[in-house]
Chains A and B, each alone.
Chain A
Amino acid sequence: MLSKKRKAYMVGMKAAMYLSTGLTAALVIFLVAYVFIKGIPHISWELLSTKPSYISGRIGILPDILNTLYIVLATLIFVIPLGVGAAIYLTEYAKNKKLVGMIEYAAETLSGIPSIIYGLVGMLFFCQFLGFKTSLLAGSLTLVIMNLPTVMRTTQESLKTVPQSYRDGAFGLGAGKWRVIRTVVLPGCVDGVITGCILSIGRILGESAALLFTAGFAHALNGIFEGLTSPGASLTVALYVYAKEQGEFGVAFAIAAILMILTLLINLSATLVSKHFAKKREL
């Protein structure tokens, strides 16, 4: 038989665990339900397909959707080659342990820096020093630095699963290092690049503080090349401006609901992709 004290301890700990888990679950359900209930009624075709008009006083978020899309594309185009290259250097070339340690420490440091600091440095470096002004391109380049560690890490993970014997085999047949990387190593990092892309897209969609001073708040409707060189608000920044500065809570909740749906999709695809790759690895 357990003593009274031990029984009380168990009951207390169990209660704390159930309560904490229940609270977390309730929180998630509340957040999702509240945002959907408040936001979905405000989503209309007109909202999604027009730009804000001062004449009719209506608000449309098409420019913000496009800006977000441009930022995602531009960031990925830069960050994937850079991140993959860094990962290949670490797994295939680097021999000096100290150097590897330094690079990994730098990557960890980058992932710990708050986005507001990225925004500030992005503004100083890309907008002012390199002369890109406040533009989607400056915003995207700032996000490239933010997402570099993510892509690097996921690629590194997938390169670890390329068997050493493949490389040895290729070297044995007389291939040079570059040829081995092209034919054996690069195909092996597809999994990592896809995972890295999904995680980065999630992070880019949710980012706001780093974009505020680098990409700006404009709602102009532009094509991709014109858009990249002019300022524009992403969905998150638009949400902030509509809620905090203009008190347009209906539009803000509509954007929040859209962001929530996108977050759900990103999480779902991340889970599916990791399951798929785990299965592939077992074969």
Chain B
Amino acid sequence: MKKNKMIERTIHGIFLILGLLTVGCVLLITVYLVISGIPAITEIRLFDFLFGTKWASTAAQPSYGILPFILTSVYGTAGAILIGVPIGFFAAVYLSKLANPKVKTIMEEAVSLLAGIPSVVYGLVGMLVLVPAVREIFDIPDGASLFSAIIVLAIMILPSIIKVSMTALEAVPKEYEDASLALGATPVETYFKVSVPAAKSGIAAAVVLGVGRAIGEAMAVMMVSGNVPNMPSLFQSVRFLTTAVASEMSYSSGLQQQALFSIALVLFLFIMLINATLNFFLKKEKD
């Protein structure tokens, strides 16, 4: 009997450890980023690091200002949201409310495929189709620019926006729509003036999820944005927070490498903020 109790206890303990594993991983990531990110920030000084406009990590007089990266990430994400959200939103309303079941099934598969395509494939197609096209259409010397990155990001966040919005729209109680229809509103009016407001927290969550995806994307953006640490401008080569980390990591050392960890810490803080917002909307949606 005693032996049995011992076994039960041990097993309980093992499962407890496994259960706490996710918490442990989050702590591990946070601790590593903070420990490795703080030294460079104190050495460069927080203000100069965050608001310095010049990044010249390999120059004789190195300068570590990451404002160009922060602004590029913010503008790039905003641009992707501006283009991707309306398209995703209207497609989600159509697919969840109006489309016939066959079209809906096919489009759901198509959207899943879009979500599953690896980011390097987006980068490759962007590099060979989008970048030359941007160069031709806007008559600029190099098409690898913030604009190209925005287009690629807009496409990449489309599946998250469509899927999450569709789930929210499908959860709207049928009675709401029936009541609106009975009062003489047309179906289209009902969907946009009754269903959409009823699903607004879910749709907001979809947008926030899109923001998270866009700000965290590295490889696809690296292949189409030109990767020069300029202050952001639509048709110039730019560097994002993610690509700043990725592009110099393999050959960096000393303060330069520590500064890259600090950039990752800044990116991490952005993501944590976005996660908290996402959670807020998801909770609201549940209630």
Chain A residues within CB distance 8 Å of chain B: 2, 6, 9-10, 13-14, 16-21, 23-25, 27-28, 31-32, 34-35, 38, 82, 85-86, 88-90, 92-94, 102-103, 105-110, 112-121, 123-125, 145, 148-149, 152, 176-178, 181, 202, 205-209, 212-213, 236-237, 239-240, 243-244, 249, 252-253, 256, 259-260, 263-264, 266-267, 270-271
The answer to whether A208 and B18 touch across the interface, beta carbons within 8 angstroms, is no
The answer to whether B19 and A89 touch across the interface, beta carbons within 8 angstroms, is yes
State A253–B125 Cα separation when bound (angstroms): 9
Q: B29: CB under 8 A from chain A?
A: yes
Q: B168: CB under 8 A from chain A?
A: no
State A74–B128 Cα separation when bound (angstroms): 34
The answer to whether B118 and A86 touch across the interface, beta carbons within 8 angstroms, is no
Set of chain B residues within 8 Å of A263, measured between Cβ atoms: 113, 116-118
State A28–B91 Cα separation when bound (angstroms): 14
Q: Mark B103-139, 1 if CB is under 8 A from A, else 0.
A: 0000101111110111111011101110000000000
* Closest chain A residue to B4, Cβ basis: A176
- Provide the main secondary structure of the chain B interface: helix
Please give the number of chain B residues whose Cβ is less than 8 angstroms from any Cβ of chain A in the complex.
81
State A34–B133 Cα separation when bound (angstroms): 15
The answer to whether A35 and B246 touch across the interface, beta carbons within 8 angstroms, is no
Residue among A24, A25, A119 with most chain B CB within 10 A: A24
Chain B residues within CB distance 8 Å of chain A: 4, 7-8, 11-12, 14-16, 18-23, 25-26, 28-29, 32-33, 36, 86-91, 93-95, 98-99, 107, 109-114, 116-121, 123-125, 127-129, 155, 158, 162, 186, 188-189, 192, 212, 215-219, 222-223, 242, 245-246, 249-250, 261, 264, 267-268, 271-272, 274-275, 278-279
Q: How many A-B residue pairs have CB under 8 A?
A: 242
* Closest chain B residue to A243, Cβ basis: B124
